[in-house]
Amino acid sequence: MLTPTEQLNNQFFDYIIAGGGTAGLTLAARLTEDPSVNVLVLEAGQANIDDPQLLRPGIYGSHFGNASFTWDHKTIKQKHVNDRESGWSRGKGLGGSSGINFLCYTKPPARDIDDFERLGNPGWNWKNLEQYFNRAEGFVEPTEEYKKRTGVKTETWNVGREGPLKVSFPVSISEAEMRIQQAFANQGIPAAKQPIGGDPKGICFLPNTYDPKTHVRSYSTNAYYLPNKDRPNFKVAVGAHVNRVLTENTRDGSWSAVGVEFTDVASGKTQTVNAKKEVILSAGALKTPQLLELSGFGRIDVLDKIDVPVKVELSGVGENVQDHIFLGLSWELKEDAPFDTLDLLRDPAIAAKHLELHAQGSGLHTIGIVGFSWNSFDMFAPPGKQAEVYQKMEDALGKIDDTAHPGLRKSFEIAMQRFEPGKPGSPGCEFISFPGFLSGPNPPEAGKRYATILVAMNHGFSRGTVHATSSDPLKDPEMDAHYFEQDFDLDIHVEMVKFARKVANTSPMKEMLVAELNPGLEVQTDAQWAEWLKQTFSTTWHTAGSAAMLPRAQNGVVDASLKVYGTSNLRVVDLSVVPLHFASHPQATVYAIAEKAADIIKAAA
């Protein structure tokens, strides 16, 4: 049951969680397993329960621009990409970004998670975190017939089967995706050994956060909140925008979080609620740093500018921001290609038919994005290019001013090991097969169908910032991705898109294609590829690292128990805490972080 905000003023709760998104609801559900503990979740957006706009798969990006479902944030102009701004939409409302994401369920390579520990966070390694991934997962095994038809192999998978989050393969995998996968195989890319068990390198089909019984999205709302909503100790209020954490100075000099101030969005009225044990920030990587700054935790110059008294100087707040980006290469399909693609949904009459089909558990809303090739740079880039890019990384490392950016050198050194020539790299160069059109700048033509390879680099070195520029909590912080500030991030992408074109010229993909629509064959030289890339890439909405878990001397914001430095009981539990970004779409890792956080918090109580 949702709790009306007017019932909350001056009430007391053991734990208050700011943000009812992916991490926030997961954490709340686990903490309220103990009936003696009461938890309040404050979510700025609405509940949107049972809304088909969230539940229906296959309508990627359709929530953007709709304030009922998204925060349509934007970066400032990006100076290394011709002053383009990047739309950084995020889920708003219960479920947060898990309610509007593209449903891909992927997990990072073990070594990328082990890097968290190597950066100074004891206990944050794959072996430990894997149990928390598995705790969230309710993987539904595909049938033997499905496996035979699609080539999906799951027998050896290490994946949880009892967790609340439904993870399964969509009803069918389009033949376009199967052919693209086979073309990668014919380019020498091996099958992944443990696609969601720590070793995803290679090609694989991966599941979605998809309920195979009801054919709807599985997300934190229907996985963690709805099954537990009647617990008397689990209170959730929506339309409650948290403005700041209320703190008191303790005898030992640290700060204690005693509650939060929030605004009831409907009435504009400001209220406070009190925390007996802890306050936890789960507002996502774009809003959590803003909340910290508005509460007095952050860089002195940032806080001075917005007139917020400094409680704890933490120069890492809003720094270390890392994003993933993607772009698509699209090809027109031959007229007789014997399969449907998502392009058909552009025709309103056909779209209406597929809505009906969805209700019966078939049609285009029951397919998903499932075909991946996770490559390390050495798997496709010429050795000379690998050496050139690595040299540029070394040059960048040499220029790091450790006084201005404590910890950055160590972070770069570990990130560089993922690219070291002659050693097996980490598979951060991701290729996704997409059954339809998703690219630029040329638009799709009515009545035509397309196949797309999405190219996404997961191990960028450029670091951005997210900082409050006003003491008004309702005003967006300033977001600056610093895209391609390290020019070798661009070089790596250029090699990736060239490889994608090579794959398209390989059987059995090439036989289904008429012509390349984007970028088009006029793009040939590295400089032309780079220019097209800068014009058409998009964020993958995976921004992380803005309240990083790192030692304090290395610009850390939270320690390995996710507690904000200088406080006794304020934690961050969301994608902000990731110290170094990993090769995976992040939702699985966010669920795992929240599951682990619940154990940490329970143990500390």
Ligand X SMILES: Cc1cc2nc3c(=O)[nH]c(=O)nc-3n(C[C@H](O)[C@H](O)[C@H](O)COP(=O)(O)OP(=O)(O)OC[C@H]3O[C@@H](n4cnc5c(N)ncnc54)[C@H](O)[C@@H]3O)c2cc1C
Q: How many residues bind ligand X (CB under 6 A)?
A: 40
Choose between 281 and 381: whose C-beta lies nearer to ligand X: 281
Residue 22 near ligand X by CB under 6 A:
yes
One residue of 451, 586, 596, 601 binding ligand X per CB under 6 A = 586
* Residue 529, annotated as binding a ligand: no
Residue 590 near ligand X by CB under 6 A:
yes
| Alpha helices for 288-331 (secondary structure H) | 288-294, 300-305
Residue 102 near ligand X by CB under 6 A:
yes
Q: How far is the CB of 481 from ligand X (least distance, A)?
A: 14
Residue 100 near ligand X by CB under 6 A:
yes
Using H for helix, E for strand and C for coil, what is the string for 12-32? EEEEEEECCCHHHHHHHHHHC
Residues ≥6 apart with Cβ < 8 Å to 580: 112, 115, 116, 119, 322, 411, 414, 415, 545
Choose between 163 and 406: whose C-beta lies nearer to ligand X: 163
Cβ–Cβ under 8 Å, residues 322 and 408:
no
Report the C-alpha gap between 164 and 180 in whole angstroms: 32
Q: Measuring CA to CA, how many Å separate 433 from each of 149, 203, 341, 342, 524?
A: 18, 11, 12, 12, 22
* Residue 195, annotated as binding a ligand: no
Q: How far is the CB of 58 from ligand X (least distance, A)?
A: 12
| Alpha helices for 365-426 (secondary structure H) | 383-399, 408-416
Residue 235 near ligand X by CB under 6 A:
no
Residue 58 near ligand X by CB under 6 A:
no
Nearest-5° Cα angle at 77, 76 to 80: 130
Cis peptide before 508 (omega within 30 of 0): yes
One residue of 8, 16, 17, 23 binding ligand X per CB under 6 A = 23
CA 309 to chain centre: 32
Residue 294 near ligand X by CB under 6 A:
no
Residue 284 near ligand X by CB under 6 A:
yes
Choose between 171 and 575: whose C-beta lies nearer to ligand X: 575
Residue 96 near ligand X by CB under 6 A:
yes
Q: How far is the CB of 105 from ligand X (least distance, A)?
A: 6
Choose between 321 and 590: whose C-beta lies nearer to ligand X: 590
Residue 108 near ligand X by CB under 6 A:
no
Residue whose token pair is 């953007």: 64
One residue of 316, 587, 596, 601 binding ligand X per CB under 6 A = 587
Residue whose token pair is 């917020």: 308
Report the C-alpha gap between 594 and 27 in whole angstroms: 5
- Give residue number: closest CB to ligand X: 21
- Burial pattern 340-349, b for ≥16 Cβ within 10 A else e, equals bbbbbbeeee
One residue of 32, 37, 45, 139 binding ligand X per CB under 6 A = 45
Q: Looking at 96-104, 264-272, 402-410, 452-460, which segment touches ligand X (CB under 6 A)?
A: 96-104
Choose between 18 and 481: whose C-beta lies nearer to ligand X: 18
Tokens of 319: 């720094």
Using H for helix, E for strand and C for coil, what is the string for 539-586? ECCCCECCCCECCHHHCCCECCCCEECCECCEEECCHHHCCCCCCCCC
What is the footprint of ligand X within residues 526-565 (CB under 6 A)? Answer: 541-542
CA 68 to chain centre: 20
Residue 595 near ligand X by CB under 6 A:
no
Report the C-alpha gap between 284 and 474 in whole angstroms: 15
DSSP-derived letter for residue 364 is G
Q: How far is the CB of 263 from ligand X (least distance, A)?
A: 9
Q: Looking at 40-48, 154-162, 272-280, 514-522, which segment touches ligand X (CB under 6 A)?
A: 40-48
What amino acid positions are annotated as catalytic residues?
542, 585
One residue of 287, 534, 571, 581 binding ligand X per CB under 6 A = 287
Report the C-alpha gap between 139 and 299 in whole angstroms: 43
One residue of 75, 101, 341, 567 binding ligand X per CB under 6 A = 101
One residue of 97, 134, 150, 168 binding ligand X per CB under 6 A = 97
* Residue 542, annotated as binding a ligand: yes
Residue 368 near ligand X by CB under 6 A:
no
Residues ≥6 apart with Cβ < 8 Å to 461: 393, 396, 412, 415, 486, 488, 489
Question: What separation, in Å, do the N-terminal and C-terminal C-alpha atoms of the chain show?
Answer: 26
Residue 42 near ligand X by CB under 6 A:
yes
Residue 43 near ligand X by CB under 6 A:
yes
Residues ≥6 apart with Cβ < 8 Å to 197: 107, 130, 156, 157, 158, 159
In this structure, what are the phi and psi dihedrals at residue 283, rounded to the nearest 5 degrees?
-90, 10
What is the footprint of ligand X within residues 240-259 (CB under 6 A)? Answer: 241-242
One residue of 78, 98, 194, 411 binding ligand X per CB under 6 A = 98
Residue 217 near ligand X by CB under 6 A:
no
Q: Looking at 94-102, 188-196, 349-357, 399-407, which segment touches ligand X (CB under 6 A)?
A: 94-102
Task: Name the binding residues.
Answer: 242, 541-542, 586-587
Footprint of ligand X (CB under 6 A): 18-24, 42-45, 89-92, 96-98, 100-104, 241-242, 282-285, 287, 291, 541-542, 574-575, 585-588, 590
Task: Name the binding residues for FAD.
Answer: 242, 541-542, 586-587
